Amino acid sequence: MSEPQLIAPQFTGDMPVGLPPWTYRSAELLELEYERVILPSWQFVCHVNQVKSPGDFATLDMRRDSVIVIRGADGELRAFANFCRHRGTKLLDGSGTCRNRIVCPYHGWSYDLSGAMVAAPSPETFPGLDKNNLGLRPVEMEILLGLVFVRVIGGGLGLKEIWGDAVRHLEPFGIESFEPAGPPNAQVWNANWKVAIDNNLENYHVPMGHPGYHRLLDLDDANGFMNQHGVAGSMATVRQRLSSNWSERRYQKLAPHALADLPEKLRKTWSFTIMPPNFGLDIYPDSMDIFQILPLGAETCQVRYPLYVRPGSSREQEVLRYLNWRINRQVTAEDRELSERVQMGMGSHGYEPGPLSTHEICLKDFHDRIRAACPVTLLANSPPAGQMRQINARMATRH
């Protein structure tokens, strides 16, 4: 029998406290989180404008699962598990266009663009083969404002219910019409996925951690929102006072002319929105990026951040975008460094999580969701090796 386990404090005084540090370093917990948090949640794959024509496809690779989104000959967009029904080979990589078949690179089984199995080489060696039962496995898919999401373990709330009225905050930006700006950027960070998410869920670190953003933007939590499903957002305004930094100052000066065709308010609004567990959407007047953090190892994660631009842009808008990307490249580098530093501190002997500010309310909401999905994270210390799953199951029946 194992020792009785201590429950970690969730508050100190009236202030909430984050998850215990062991939860940011455990490979066994990562498996549970992957199955209980990532796979049953909506995961972003691509923008509809990346899969416009029949045969166009995009894939999303997660820890063990990969999903294909592909436009059929009938114009329908569908999602499938990215494995062959013969012996499981991964079928497609990245994104591109299939002529009219998806052909497995192993033995050559083929599927049409609607996922139906078409043929297997040497069909006489498969007596009684029922092709109707060997099509690609469908995966749940929904589209929100032109953004395509899939859910490997289906059955939860739809995107409409999860977003509710929050979607109104995004509607004025017209992101359905945005076009991809090159292949999606991706980086591996030396931090547990939750460290990178935590970092993306609060603006409290901006004045210290992102001096450029702080010079450029007025981030006011007062206009923030969060609904009961954790969809949250805030808007920032580009400051009037010119920054001392070259790119930021140029951006401030150029934006009013380059964006003259946009309503005045949108011209200077930077909008930051998140959907649990791992999706962020940053909309700028000139472009937008998506920030999706996927678990990789116990102390590594993958950060996907594809960029999109408004269609039909002028030369001035292109310059503006270039400046924006310079500014945001710097911010991403800062976030990466800060996240990796958190990971280092988390692993130190004697570290106990400190209190969270009211600016870190989304972080608390995220941790509560992890606690609900994986009650084992309520424990102050990691369960003994090999016992995570049983202890979690036992605790789940109690909570």
Residues forming contacts to Fe ion in the complex (CB under 5 A) are: 335
Does 104 help bind ligand FES (rule: CB under 6 A)? yes
Q: Please choose which of Fe ion, ligand FES, none residue 246 contacts, taking the beta carbon within 5 to 8 angstroms, the exact cut-off set by kind.
A: none
Q: Are 379 and 7 in contact (CB under 8 A)?
A: yes
Start-end of H helices in 101-245: 159-163, 193-200, 206-209, 211-216
- Bridge partner list, 304: 186, 292
Residue 373: both structure tokens together:
């999905």
Residue 316: both structure tokens together:
């001035």
Tokens 């039962």 found at: 133
The CA distance from 178 to 180, in Å, is 7
CB of residue 372 vs ligand FES: minimum separation in angstroms? 38
Q: Please choose which of ligand FES, Fe ion, none residue 11 contacts, taking the beta carbon within 5 to 8 angstroms, the exact cut-off set by kind.
A: none
Cis peptide before 180 (omega within 30 of 0): no
**What part of residues 308-327 is at the interface with ligand FES (CB under 6 A)?**
none
Does 106 help bind ligand FES (rule: CB under 6 A)? yes
Residue 284: both structure tokens together:
């700028």
Sheet holding 43-47: strands in order across? 43-47, 147-151, 140-144
Q: Please select the residue that binds ligand FES; options are 87, 160, 168, 394, rule is CB under 6 A.
A: 87
Does 109 help bind ligand FES (rule: CB under 6 A)? yes
Task: Please give the DSSP secondary-structure letter assigned to residue 284.
Answer: -
Does 52 help bind ligand FES (rule: CB under 6 A)? no
Cβ-based nearer residue to ligand FES, 104 or 175:
104
Cβ-based nearer residue to ligand FES, 82 or 317:
82
Residue 377's closest CA among 15, 3, 35, 5? 5
The CA distance from 350 to 231, in Å, is 34
CB of residue 205 vs Fe ion: minimum separation in angstroms? 6
Does 110 help bind ligand FES (rule: CB under 6 A)? no
Q: Please select the residue that binds ligand FES; options are 55, 72, 86, 181, rule is CB under 6 A.
A: 86
Q: How many residues bind ligand FES (CB under 6 A)?
A: 9
CB of residue 124 vs ligand FES: minimum separation in angstroms? 16
Does 126 help bind ligand FES (rule: CB under 6 A)? no
Q: Could you tell me where the beta strands, DSSP code E, fall in 239-336?
A: 269-275, 279-283, 287-297, 300-305, 307-309
Does 93 help bind ligand FES (rule: CB under 6 A)? no
Residues in the chain: 399
Q: Are 141 and 149 in contact (CB under 8 A)?
A: yes
Q: Are 45 and 69 in contact (CB under 8 A)?
A: yes
Q: Please choose which of ligand FES, Fe ion, none residue 335 contacts, taking the beta carbon within 5 to 8 angstroms, the exact cut-off set by kind.
A: Fe ion
Does 294 help bind ligand FES (rule: CB under 6 A)? no
The stretch among 82-90, 233-241, 260-268, 334-342 that binds ligand FES (CB under 6 A) is 82-90
CB of residue 87 vs ligand FES: minimum separation in angstroms? 4
Residue 1's closest CA among 344, 395, 384, 398? 384
Q: Please choose which of ligand FES, Fe ion, none residue 86 contacts, taking the beta carbon within 5 to 8 angstroms, the exact cut-off set by kind.
A: ligand FES
Q: Are 186 and 88 in contact (CB under 8 A)?
A: no
The stretch among 106-114, 155-163, 213-221, 315-323 that binds ligand FES (CB under 6 A) is 106-114
Does 107 help bind ligand FES (rule: CB under 6 A)? yes
The residue ranges that bind ligand FES (CB under 6 A) are 84, 86-87, 89, 104, 106-109
